[in-house]
Structure 1
Amino acid sequence: MTHADEQPTEVETQASPPPGSEDSPPEAGRWHETLRSITTGNAMVAFLSVLLAVLVGSIMILATDEEVRSAAGYITARPGDFFSAAREAITGAYGALFRGSIYNTRAEDFQTGIRPLTETLKFAAPLITAGLGVGLAFRAGLFNIGGRGQMLLAGGAAGWVGTQVDLPFPLHLVVAVAAGMLAGALWAGLAGLLKARTGAHEVIVTIMLNYVGFYLVFYALSTQGILQAPGSINPKSLPMDDSAVLPKLAGDRYNLHLGFLLALVAVVVVWWLLSRSSLGYRFRAVGVNPHAARTAGIDVGRTYVIVMLIAGSLVGLAGANQVLGTVTSGVTVDLDAGIGFDAITVALLGRSRPFGILAAGLLFGAFKAGGFSMQASEGIPVDIVLVIQSLIVLFIAAPPLVRAVFRLPAKEAK
């Protein structure tokens, strides 16, 4: 056999085994398409938005650290001092965030060390339920910006039952939670009804209802015989009866209570509603295209009312959680603690998906729990955490910016 005979011909070189044969190689584009779907997906953009916000937050931490600023004054002479101070500032800040939200590595025993995680779960519970209420409305094409008013009305109703009604445990607790959810549902349902009957924009209506709800609760807390504690001149109610307080899950040593389990149940219920029920299908159809949904025979106005009722009940559960769990000393006008607006961020970060909202709620719960530790142990303003949360919203609202920063491929239009 000659040397020429041993060389493959041009045809043999270019030819490939037929598809389906044992010698055919794996599809060349399979992993490429998989990687592209990951890098262009919503989950990747959300993750990178958080990462980018943390990076920008690190720059702000450096800008507020005294030692870093001092070392920056002579950086050309001794650059090592600057970089050492910068490293200490960043690792100290996020180390304190970890110790305050996940596990305190400086604790003497495991029971004390795990306490920060229980605080994170406690803070996350109302964020998750309120986020579900906002996210569910988003899926139906509605912007529920009235979380604060719905939480206040729900907290006032749950607090009234918790202080004025005499029932045994656990019936008292069930009635108080149900009263809070009903109040939140009716308050949000009012916006849905106005949207369905008059076409009033739900953003304007829910924002205005926030003010109305605030002053209604303030009036109730300032009036004897409604919610104000007897003999008090402050807008505050009596403490909740013991039979109406959410029981603690891990004993009196921790603040984690039943509200977190209720939040997990709400996640599963909303997932089933959206993914497995005909009602959820109508919600999603109206959210994608209300005109096409109406043509298909779906009563869009009725759908708006129903979705806002359910969304309001979920936000109302967050309000009841605040009064019956976290704020056991009584109802106040600041019981919402900014959760009504934080829920919008949680819903956006979770892409209005129940399990995405669960993850986002846990993340923001960790921010809330760890932010105080950062301030106490490292002297970092707690406002830095708020800035990071705001940056997350900014980057999530601008996916092309995130893709440009990390040089991700553009998402293909379907």
Structure 2
Amino acid sequence: MSETTPAPQAPQPHTATPEVPRGNAVLRDILRGSVVTSILALLVAMVVGGILIALTNEDVRTASGYFFARPADTFRAIWDAVYGGYEALFRGAIYNSRADDFLTAIRPLTNTLGNAAPLIAAGLGVALAFRVGMFNIGAQGQILFGAAFSALMTFRLDLPLALQLPLTLIAGLVGGAIWAGIAGILKARTGAHEVILTIMLNYIAVYLVDWMVSTAGVLQKPGSNQPISAATPSGALFPDLFGPAYPNLDVGFLLVIAATVFVWWLIERSSLGLRMRAVGENPHAARAAGISVQRIYVYAMLFAGGLAGLAAMNQIQGAVTSGFDSHIDAGFGFDAITVALLGRSRAWGTFVAGLLFGALKAGSYTMQASEGIPVDIVLVVQALVVLFVAAPPLIRTMFFLPKDESEKSARARAKAARKAVAR
């Protein structure tokens, strides 16, 4: 019986895994990047804010009472309320289309830039500390002490503009750096947590400035029994950039731009910034690599305090020149934390976030005056922006965006854990 020889098999072609087109990879990286998620977070916050505007509007509530009889009235009232609110926000923050001339129409933009200047300066200080792994929530105290130190050192000098202005500015930077440096040194020497240190220093600064402006011969305005300091000397005032028609925009904004460039260079391009980033990523590995972690902590807080001092100088040399008290920070100290978080602790991200919050603040007054919308609605929108920016996976899930590698690995670990439990 002869054996049958099997027919030769044709060689199977080698099928290589097709390459993902580079354009798709670039698009995926863009969609899951921080810029897109931040923009979408702002969009979602504005939508939720629009819902709140509609719910608090009297015309909407009235029209909803007979919704089933004439539903178009309710939808029209909702549109009028939401559109009117955000149109007023734009008109008060960017461009007033109802103004008689162009120069008057752009005044809201200058108000936005002026409001943003101290926010950006203080936010840069918080963001810089974040990059080093420190939670600096003491910008309020640093602003207060920077203003008080500057007033103590320079308000009585009565020098010409060329000397008085830079000396007052430098004294404010030094005062803020001193106050933040206390927390940095205690953190470096004793290991005390910077959150507790900066919170306590905030309280100390508030009550210390209260005492200073209430005590004759210290900072209290001469001839007054009110708790307020003397007015800022005329030689220390920041000149207006575009004249008296735009009083909210002065040289302080240019200093804030310079500070943003400096922080970007310091963190991203300098050797000191490299050590700062290393400490922020892993202080134990940085110490093993020969970096003095304690020294970096002190440096970071000194820089952060100096930037908060710049925010203080934008106040007493620009916005509030008739005298100050313990409320001179105007909430910027805590808003700076929000700005730094929204800017993801990057210099230019913080700058853009400060502009956004400056616009919301400038536009909120027009919303309230022309549309009767409470300022609290704008504060809710700010909080929602931070909420959604702080939760990128939520935004990616809502808009079906590609997951980043950390989310994919977390999902894979969870799936493996469920399988192990099932076995």
Q: Output the CA distance in 2 between the equivalents of 1:353 and 1:379.
A: 36
- Please give the alpha-carbon distance, in whole angstroms, between the structure 1 residues aligned to 2:151 and 2:365: 28
1:259 equivalent in structure 2: 252
Counterpart amino acid of 1:305? V
Q: Aligned-pair distance for 1:331?
A: 1.6
The code of the aligned residue for 2:50 comes to S
Secondary structure at the aligned position of 2:46 is classed as helix
1:307 paired residue number: 300
Task: Report 1:46-85 matches (<5 A).
Answer: 46-85=38-77
User: How far is the alpha carbon of 1:80 from its aligned partner?
Assistant: 0.5
Match of 2:273 in 1: 280
Structure 1 match to 2:105:
113
TM-superposed deviation, 1:221: 0.2
Confirm whether residue 177 of structure 1 aligns to residue 183 of structure 2: no
Consecutive unaligned residues of structure 1, counting only runs of 5 or more, are: 1-9, 19-24
Does residue 219 of the first structure (1) align with residue 219 of the second (2)? Answer: no
Q: Distance in 2 between matches of 1:161 and 1:171?
A: 13
- Superposition pairs of residues 164-203 of structure 1, within 5 angstroms: 164-203=156-195
Aligned match of 1:155: 147
Deviation of 1:160 after TM superposition, in Å, equals 3.2
1:350 equivalent among 332, 343, 347: 343
Letter of the 2:241 partner, please give it: L
How many residues are treated as equivalent by the alignment?
397
Is residue 365 of structure 1 aligned with residue 358 of structure 2?
A: yes
- 1:28 offset after TM fit, Å? 4.3
Equivalent residue letter for 2:267? L
| Corresponding residue to 1:207 among 199, 202, 210 | 199
2:229 counterpart of 1:237: yes
Structure 1 residue 15, shift from structure 2 partner: 9.3
Pair 1:293-2:304 in alignment: no
Q: Which amino acid aligns with 1:180?
A: G
CA distance in 2, matches of 1:348, 1:45: 13
Contact 1:62 1:68 in 2 (8 A): yes
2:356 paired with 1:337: no
- Partners of 2:379 and 2:122 lie apart in 1 by 18
Q: Deviations over 1:78-124 (max 9, x none)?
A: 11111111111111001000110101000000111010000000001
Q: CA deviation at 1:161?
A: 4.1
2:267 and 2:273 in contact (8 A); partners too? yes
**1:159 Cα deviation (Å)?**
2.9
AA partner of residue 189 (structure 2): R
Partner of 1:87: 79
Matched, 1:247 2:232: no
Residue number in structure 2 paired with 1:5: none
Q: Is the 8 A contact 1:158 1:324 kept in 2?
A: no
Structure 2 unmatched ranges of 5 or more: 1-9, 410-423
State the TM-score, normalizing by the size of structure 2: 0.91
Whole-Å separation in 2 of the counterparts to 1:362 and 1:226: 36
Aligned-partner Cα distance in 2 for 1:225–1:315: 26
Whole-angstrom CA distance in 2 between matches of 1:201 and 1:55: 39
The alignment yields a C-alpha RMSD, in angstroms, of 1.9
Deviation at 1:401, TM superposition (A): 1.7
CA distance in 1, matches of 2:241, 2:151: 21
2:7 corresponding residue in structure 1: none
Shift of 1:47: 1.5
What is the DSSP-based 3-state SS (H/G/I as helix, E as strand, rest coil) of the residue aligned with 2:338? helix
Partners of 1:195 and 1:201 within 8 A in 2 = yes
d(CA) in 1 for partners of 2:154 and 2:383?
Answer: 35
Rounded Cα–Cα distance in structure 1 between residues aligned with 2:206 and 2:145: 8
Structure 2 residue identity aligned to 1:344? I
**Matched residue SS, 1:38:** helix
> Would the aligned equivalents of 1:99 and 1:116 in 2 still touch at CA under 8 Å?
yes
Letter in 2 for 1:261: L
Cα distance, 1:324 vs. partner?
0.8
Q: Who is 2:311 aligned against?
A: 318
**Contact preservation (8 Å) 1:159, 1:324:** no
Query: Which residue identity is paired with 1:235?
Result: P
Measured in 1, the distance between the counterparts of 2:383 and 2:397 equals 20
Percent sequence identity is: 58
Query: How does the TM-score come out when normalised to structure 1?
Result: 0.93
2:414 corresponds to: none
1:228 equivalent among 216, 220, 223? 220
1:404 offset after TM fit, Å?
A: 1.9
Letter in 2 for 1:190: I
CA contact (8 A) 1:173 1:243 kept: yes
* Alpha-carbon shift at residue 200 of structure 1 (Å): 0.7
In the aligned structure 2, how far is the partner of 1:47 from the partner of 1:187?
A: 35
1:388 is the counterpart of 2:362: no
